């Protein structure tokens, strides 16, 4: 019998999307295989010789919706469902009103799936990486429990909270970064264009140039002759960091170092723990299991060190450990989180405790943002002023020596 290779996408019992390929006589045989394996088939297509092995890779690399698009999707869908419209009607209206091409195409695909009899969760899972496992599982829980509008409101609130944390982090880093760049450019301009104009004044003079002036002139000569070297070093370092970030072990090592940095490390910790806690509160509220919640909440974490620790935490909990005990075994989780989780487990109020942790760390992000700004701004200003002061003093010392020689 002639066998044909098919590429499939399917949904697991936990709501996770899987990709794969299988050789069978026809498409029906692949569907039966998936169902017998406990999966829900989403799509089964024949793999052409032209697409080959690149088909799966393209499916996996489908770009996720931006945070803005996700917030728009969940908030608008929550509003329409609260108004009494069905999911099918809501998606159709949203598709018609969407201004973004990416969001419009996504809504069209979701509407087509729901209109064809699929659940919203299954239709979302069929979009590859457009939606995260957290989104899909919460929608699945909402459809199963009959409270989809409440879940949509919760997801909209979740996206708003994540957007707030993101804005706070960006605002904490933007101004210091701009100030740092302007400081570097100012120093480079002085060394490249200003200082070289003073050098000819002292070349023919019969005097010993002060040591400080000599050092400043040497630095200026380096910038003038080898200005490209710092740029090359910067590019090499940036590429090295980017390469490390793309490797799992490298990202874990690098992100672990970031957590140990003064002020910045505690800010990054607060942002990630806030995201984790908000995710846990949202999923536990709507009936997602504890282990599944931890696994999916780790998807909201950007820091590789914390994400790796959460993976191990989920394994320990699945082996019978309490969540608080598992969190305590890793130093990247602060005491406030572990203490409140322990209280939540003892009192049976784990979801409210995660909500409190999320609010506490949201406030910490605000406080640490202000602390970072208050610390970095004077350091950069004093540093730039100090460097410029040294340059001016070095020139003045040389000019005073030249005046003494004339007399």
In CATH terms, the fold of domain 268-360 is Receptor-associated Protein (1.20.81)
What are the residue ranges spanned by the domains of the chain? 4-46, 67-147, 268-360
User: CA 360, CA 270: separation in Å to the nearest integer?
Assistant: 9
Q: Do 295 and 277 touch, CB atoms closer than 8 A?
A: no
Residue 59 has pLDDT above 50, yes or no: no
User: CA 231, CA 224: separation in Å to the nearest integer?
Assistant: 13
Residue of 75 and 248 predicted with greater confidence: 75
Residue of 133 and 333 predicted with greater confidence: 333
Tell me the two tokens of residue 376: 């970095």
Q: Do 279 and 158 touch, CB atoms closer than 8 A?
A: yes
Q: pLDDT for 258-288, tens place per residue?
A: 999 988 898 889 989 988 998 888 888 877 7
By C-alpha distance, which of 294, 274, 280 is closest to 351?
280
Q: Do 172 and 180 touch, CB atoms closer than 8 A?
A: no
Residue 209 has pLDDT above 70, yes or no: yes
Residue 210, C-beta contacts closer than 8 angstroms, at least 6 positions apart: 394, 397, 398, 401
Question: CA–CA distance from 178 to each of 50, 172, 295, 306 (Å)?
Answer: 48, 11, 37, 29
Mean pLDDT of 144-156: 85
CATH topology agreement for domains 67-147 and 268-360: yes
Question: CA–CA distance from 398 to each of 20, 179, 266, 370 (Å)?
Answer: 74, 31, 46, 43
Q: Do 29 and 45 touch, CB atoms closer than 8 A?
A: no
- Give the lowest-confidence range in 163-177, 182-196, 282-296: 163-177
Q: List residues bridging with 24 in a β-sheet.
A: 4
In order, the DSSP letters of 33-67 are HHHHTT-EEEEEEEPPTTTTTHHHHHHHTPPPPPH
HSE value, Cβ hemisphere, 13 Å, CA-based, for 363: 5
Q: What percent of the chain has pLDDT over 70?
A: 88
Q: Do 93 and 79 touch, CB atoms closer than 8 A?
A: no
The CATH number of 67-147 is 1.20.81.30
Alpha helix positions (H), 19-147: 27-36, 54-60, 67-82, 87-97, 101-115, 120-125, 133-145
Residue 77 has pLDDT above 50, yes or no: yes
User: CA 357, CA 277: separation in Å to the nearest integer?
Assistant: 6
159: Cα separation from own chain's centroid: 13
Output the pLDDT for position 56. Answer: 38
Tell me the pLDDT of the chain averaged across its residues: 82
4-11/17-24 β-pairing = antiparallel
What pLDDT band is residue 88 in, cutting at 50, 70 and 90?
very high
Q: 3-class SS at 286?
A: coil
Mean pLDDT of 215-227: 86
């Amino acid at each position: 019998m002639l066998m044909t290779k098919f590429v499939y996408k399917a949904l697991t019992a936990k709501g996770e999307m899987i990709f794969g390929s299988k050789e069978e006589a026809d498409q029906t045989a692949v569907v039966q295989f998936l169902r017998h394996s406990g999966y829900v088939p989403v799509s089964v297509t024949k793999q052409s010789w032209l697409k080959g092995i690149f088909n799966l890779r393209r499916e996996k690399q489908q770009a996720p919706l931006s945070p803005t698009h996700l917030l728009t999707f969940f908030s608008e869908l929550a509003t329409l469902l609260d108004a009494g419209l069905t999911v099918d009607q809501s998606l159709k209206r949203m598709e018609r009103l969407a201004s973004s091409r990416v969001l419009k195409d996504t809504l069209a695909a979701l509407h087509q799936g729901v209109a064809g009899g699929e659940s919203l969760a299954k239709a979302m899972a069929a979009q590859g990486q457009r939606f995260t496992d957290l989104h899909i599982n919460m929608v699945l829980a909402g459809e199963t429990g009959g409270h989809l509008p409440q879940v949509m409101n919760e997801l909209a609130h979740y996206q708003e909270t994540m957007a707030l944390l993101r804005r706070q982090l960006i605002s904490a880093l933007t101004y210091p970064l701009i100030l740092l760049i302007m400081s570097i450019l100012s120093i480079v301009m002085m060394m490249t264009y200003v200082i070289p104009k003073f050098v000819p004044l002292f070349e023919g003079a019969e005097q010993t140039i002060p040591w400080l002036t000599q050092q400043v002139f040497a630095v200026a000569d380096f910038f003038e002759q080898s200005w490209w070297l710092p740029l090359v070093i910067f590019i090499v370092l940036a590429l090295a960091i980017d390469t490390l970030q793309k490797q799992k072990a490298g990202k874990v090592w690098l992100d672990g170092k970031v957590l140990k940095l003064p002020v910045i490390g505690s800010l990054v910790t607060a942002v990630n723990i806030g995201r984790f806690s908000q995710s846990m509160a949202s999923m536990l509220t709507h009936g997602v299991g504890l282990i599944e919640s931890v696994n999916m909440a780790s998807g909201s974490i950007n820091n590789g060190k914390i994400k790796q620790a959460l993976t191990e935490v989920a394994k320990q909990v699945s082996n019978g450990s309490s969540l608080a005990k598992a969190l305590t075994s890793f130093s990247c989780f602060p005491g406030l989180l572990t203490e409140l989780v322990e209280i939540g487990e003892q009192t049976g109020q784990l979801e409210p405790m995660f909500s409190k942790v999320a609010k506490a760390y949201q406030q910490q992000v605000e406080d640490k943002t202000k602390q970072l700004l208050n610390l970095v701004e004077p350091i950069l200003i004093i540093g730039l002023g100090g460097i410029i002061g040294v340059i001016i003093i070095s020139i003045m010392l040389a000019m005073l020596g030249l005046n003494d020689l004339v007399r």
